[in-house]
Amino acid sequence: MEIRLKVRRQEAQSEYSSYSDYTVDMPEGATMLDALLQVRDYDDGSLALRYSCRSSICGSCAMRVNGRARLACKTKAVDMANGDEPIVVEPLGNMPVVKDLVTDMDVHWDKVRQITPWVENSGPEPEREHLVTHEVMLDVSNALSCIQCGACVSDCPVLEVDTSFIGPAAFAKAYRFVGDPRDDTTKERLQGLSATQGGIWDCTRCNMCVEVCPKDIRPMDRIMQLREKAVAAGVKENIGVRHGNSFAGSVRRLGRLDEIRLLPESVGMFNVPRLLSELPGAWRLFRAGKLPWQSAIPFMHKPIPGIKHVQRLYDQARNQKKEQAK
Amino acid sequence: MKYAFWPGCVSKGACPELYESMILISAKLGIELEEMYDGNCTGAGVISEHEPKLADMLNARNFAIAQKMGHDLVNICSTCQGVQSMVQEKLDRDEEYRAEINAQLAEEGLEYKPGLTIKNFMWVLVEDYGLDKLKEQVVRPLDGLRCGPFYGCYILRPSRILGMEEHPERDDYLEQIIEAVGGTAVDYEGKDKCCGFPILTNNRKNSLTQAGTHIGSAKDQGADCLVTPCPLCHLNLDAQQPSAAEVIQRELNVPIIHLPQLIGLALGIDPKLLRMNRHVVGTQAVLDKVLAAVEA
């Protein structure tokens, strides 16, 4: 099977990059890593790439194939071929390139260090070891399976615009410790993750990390679990939590979203500077006929016919949650 | 062709032009919509962050209402689609959990049974209505109009719950529809990325940088406008565009068109009825191009 590759090349310390074209003859089941090694070993020894286990365990060979981060060793070349177009191979995004397909992962490791990646316990040392139940560890086992390949870091759209964002892989790692019963700093961790610039409330929930993760860690779901745990632990003084409360509150009141109250209730009714900064935007909406001002007038914004049932479901869910918390 | 129609909250709030254009084009296409007036907000993924079970109950209620109406459910919002697909997958997979949720719905005489078809209008157009039939209805081909597709995250990801295995081209439908009505689909970086809307209140700068960057990238590729099936994306890309332009410090001025408005233009519906004037970024340049093509 003939595989055509278009590989991005970049020298160390150079801002300039270009593409090299290669054609290799590979067996049907060949992976992208097989094809790239064929190039490096028989065609162009100057091509740099990182790899080790060839079995999706070590996480070394993550790179972008056809615009999306993947493990080269887990990706069949035949699945990437697209008619006459060559397969485009590029280094991971959101991190500097060392050479060709090799990136400097320090930006990621710095974030992992930021979340205190070890169990903290100030209590007395047990006689033998800390015992934990299978059930509890099952909850964090998914996050434990992360191989730190950096695929989610590469394709995270928030990291593209804000390098302070802790990022999906480090958040998944954070969940591994927040969910660990041996750790006794859960609330402090959640406070730190909520308050920090680039913290859990800056995730846009775009599911990109879920989509590219080769080990089904679903980092975004771990971020959502961190949010849920933060709220449950009483870490509520931030816009993200108020936004959720305002949203749920309007559904309980009307059965629908009350857009007009969402912003002031989220940023804080007395947050005058922020509210003032939003006025030009509100005026633009009003002029375009897009500001649902009617909903500010109680009798003009009627709830849905079955609102009592929505309220019953809402209260039922709240009560169940309270019971569980006890 | 008859559907239980879930318009979503935003088409009844900040994007009334989406609702009105959808009603007009469905009538013109012969797609019958029976609106779910008693449906409730899906939670847009926000409620499920704090209270997943509440979000599941609310969505199950909508599903049961659609089933009681006896039709497949159609929505006009990528975010609604994502939330509905996610909840449906959970309910269909877990019989015990479904029974627990149904027990709460029973008091209202509702029950969700697995198997409801839930489709965004974009999917309906390609899979149920058919692009060939759509082409036959076009009386005002959008020749020369260069449209950048903007999908919205939740209609693309996670792909495992969005029927991508059965319909692998769902991530290309916008392009196919744009071409079917005579326009040119513009490929650009960012068409499948996040518009930034979910963090607009929490981190305005990040949110607007995301929106501005995508619009700018489409403009660099020569797009006259962006077309989206998601009203939440529309709000960040259109209503916030002047602010996004300030944040990324470049001129943008790219109209953001709802998918039903694009179809409506091609079906020959009066732009005024499609509420093309209800945009923060003026759509006159788009209309000039569309109408000029007809006159030529």
What was the pLDDT predicted at A294? 74
CATH number of the domain residue A50 falls in: 3.10.20.30
Q: Does B196 touch chain A (CB under 8 A)?
A: yes
In 3D space, the residue among B197, B119, B98, B185 whose CA is nearest the CA of residue B146 turns out to be B185
Is B52 in Cβ contact with A228 (below 8 Å)? yes
Q: Are strands B225-228 and B146-149 parallel, antiparallel or unpaired?
A: parallel
CB A79 within 8 Å of CB A72: no
Is A227 in Cβ contact with B202 (below 8 Å)? no
Is A313 in Cβ contact with B54 (below 8 Å)? yes
Q: Residues of chain A with pLDDT > 70: what percent?
A: 100
Q: Does A257 touch chain B (CB under 8 A)?
A: yes
CB B120 within 8 Å of CB B78: yes
What was the pLDDT predicted at A300? 72
Q: Please indicate, yes or no, whether residues A261 and A314 belong to a single structural domain of this protein.
A: yes
Q: How many domains does chain B have?
A: 2
CATH number of the domain residue A156 falls in: 1.10.1060.10
Q: Please indicate, yes or no, whether residues A189 and A164 belong to a single structural domain of this protein.
A: yes
What was the pLDDT predicted at A323? 85
CB A219 within 8 Å of CB A213: yes
Residues 6+ positions from B169 with CB-CB distance below 8 Å: B126, B176
Q: Please indicate, yes or no, whether residues B105 and B180 belong to a single structural domain of this protein.
A: no
Residue B79 lies in a domain: yes
Is B159 in Cβ contact with A211 (below 8 Å)? yes
Q: Please indicate, yes or no, whether residues A134 and A217 belong to a single structural domain of this protein.
A: yes
Q: Please indicate, yes or no, whether residues B179 and B277 belong to a single structural domain of this protein.
A: yes
Q: What angle do CA A43, A45, A48 make, to 5 degrees?
A: 120
Is B202 in Cβ contact with A211 (below 8 Å)? no
Say which of A228, A256, A310 has its CB closest to residue B9. Answer: A256
Is A310 in Cβ contact with B201 (below 8 Å)? no
Q: Which of A189, A206, A232 is the last residue of a domain?
A: A232
Q: Please indicate, yes or no, whether residues A117 and A221 belong to a single structural domain of this protein.
A: yes
What was the pLDDT predicted at B165? 94
Distance CA B271, CA B259 (A): 14
Q: How far is A7 from chain B (nearest CA, A)?
A: 19
Q: Which of B69, B91, B120 is the last residue of a domain?
A: B120
Q: How far is CA B204 from CA A202, A267, A306, B41, in A?
A: 10, 11, 35, 24
User: What is the three-class DSSP state of A306?
Assistant: coil
Q: Does B37 touch chain A (CB under 8 A)?
A: yes
Average pLDDT over residues A182-188: 95
Residue B225 lies in a domain: yes
What was the pLDDT predicted at B64? 98
Q: How far is CA B10 from CA A40, A258, B15, B246, in A?
A: 53, 9, 6, 25
Q: Please indicate, yes or no, whether residues A222 and A246 belong to a single structural domain of this protein.
A: no
CB A64 within 8 Å of CB A70: yes
Q: Please indicate, yes or no, whether residues B10 and B30 belong to a single structural domain of this protein.
A: yes
Provide the domain limits for residue B250.
131-295
In 3D space, the residue among B20, B42, B23 whose CA is nearest the CA of residue B31 turns out to be B23
What was the pLDDT predicted at B296? 62
Q: Please indicate, yes or no, whether residues A26 and A41 belong to a single structural domain of this protein.
A: yes
Q: Which of A83, A103, A123 is the last residue of a domain?
A: A103
Q: How confident is the model at residue B29 (pLDDT cuts 50, 70, 90)?
A: very high
Contact residues, B window 42-81, toward A, CB-based 8 Å cutoff: 43-54, 57-58, 61
Q: Which of A103, A135, A158 is the last residue of a domain?
A: A103
Is B13 in Cβ contact with A295 (below 8 Å)? yes
Q: Please indicate, yes or no, whether residues A44 and A130 belong to a single structural domain of this protein.
A: no
Q: What angle do CA A218, A221, A226 make, to 5 degrees?
A: 130
Q: How far is B36 from chain A (nearest CA, A)?
A: 10
Pull the structure tokens for residue B2: 């008859």
What was the pLDDT predicted at A12? 82
Q: Please indicate, yes or no, whether residues B87 and B109 belong to a single structural domain of this protein.
A: yes
Q: Does B187 touch chain A (CB under 8 A)?
A: no
Q: Please indicate, yes or no, whether residues A112 and A99 belong to a single structural domain of this protein.
A: no
Mean pLDDT, chain B, whole residue set: 96
> Which one of B19, B21, B36, B40 would you mutate to disrupt binding with A, by most A Cβ within 10 Å of its Cβ?
B40
Q: Please indicate, yes or no, whether residues B252 and B215 belong to a single structural domain of this protein.
A: yes
Distance CA B61, CA B116 (A): 12
Q: How far is CA B290 from CA A60, A265, B147, B186, B223, in A?
A: 51, 42, 12, 16, 14
Write the ipTM.
Answer: 0.93
Q: How many domains does chain A have?
A: 3
What was the pLDDT predicted at A129? 86
Is A304 in Cβ contact with B40 (below 8 Å)? yes
Q: Does B159 touch chain A (CB under 8 A)?
A: yes
pLDDT, one tens digit per residue, over A263-306 is: 889 999 889 999 998 888 899 999 998 888 777 777 777 899 99
Q: Which of B100, B120, B140 is the last residue of a domain?
A: B120
Q: Does A227 touch chain B (CB under 8 A)?
A: yes
Q: Which of B54, B89, B120 is the last residue of a domain?
A: B120
Q: Does A310 touch chain B (CB under 8 A)?
A: yes
Q: Please indicate, yes or no, whether residues A158 and A192 belong to a single structural domain of this protein.
A: yes
Q: Does A319 touch chain B (CB under 8 A)?
A: no
Q: Please indicate, yes or no, whether residues A110 and A223 belong to a single structural domain of this protein.
A: yes
Average pLDDT over residues B63-89: 97
Average pLDDT over residues B174-186: 98
Q: Please indicate, yes or no, whether residues A135 and A198 belong to a single structural domain of this protein.
A: yes
Q: How far is A211 from chain B (nearest CA, A)?
A: 6
Residues of chain A by 3-state class (helix, strand, coil), percent to 5 = 50, 10, 40
pLDDT at A75 over 90: yes
Mean pLDDT, chain A, whole residue set: 93
User: What is the three-class DSSP state of B60?
Assistant: helix
Distance CA B181, CA B178 (A): 6
Burial of B138: CB neighbours in 10 Å, binned 0-12, 13-18, 19+: middle
CATH number of the domain residue B76 falls in: 1.20.1050.140
Is B278 in Cβ contact with A256 (below 8 Å)? no
Where is average pLDDT lowest: A66-80, B47-61, B102-116, B236-250? B47-61
pLDDT, one tens digit per residue, over A33-59 is: 999 999 999 999 999 999 999 999 999
Q: Please indicate, yes or no, whether residues B110 and B141 belong to a single structural domain of this protein.
A: no
Average pLDDT over residues A170-177: 97
Q: How far is B108 from chain A (nearest CA, A)?
A: 7
Residue B228 lies in a domain: yes
Residue A21 pairs with which residues in a beta bridge? A6
For residue A217, the one-letter residue type is: I
Q: Please indicate, yes or no, whether residues B274 and B140 belong to a single structural domain of this protein.
A: yes
What was the pLDDT predicted at B295? 67
Residues 6+ positions from B64 with CB-CB distance below 8 Å: B105, B110, B111, B112
The dihedral built from the CA positions of residue B176, B182, B187 and B192, taken in this order, carries a sign that is negative
Backbone angles phi, psi at B222, to 5 degrees: 85, 25
pLDDT, one tens digit per residue, over A220-274 is: 999 999 999 999 899 988 899 999 999 999 999 999 998 888 888 999 988 999 9
Provide the domain limits for residue A261.
239-325
Residue B125 lies in a domain: no
CATH number of the domain residue B166 falls in: 3.40.50.11810
Pull the structure tokens for residue A15: 């801002």
Q: Please indicate, yes or no, whether residues A141 and A84 belong to a single structural domain of this protein.
A: no
Contact residues, A window 155-194, toward B, CB-based 8 Å cutoff: 157-158, 160-162, 165
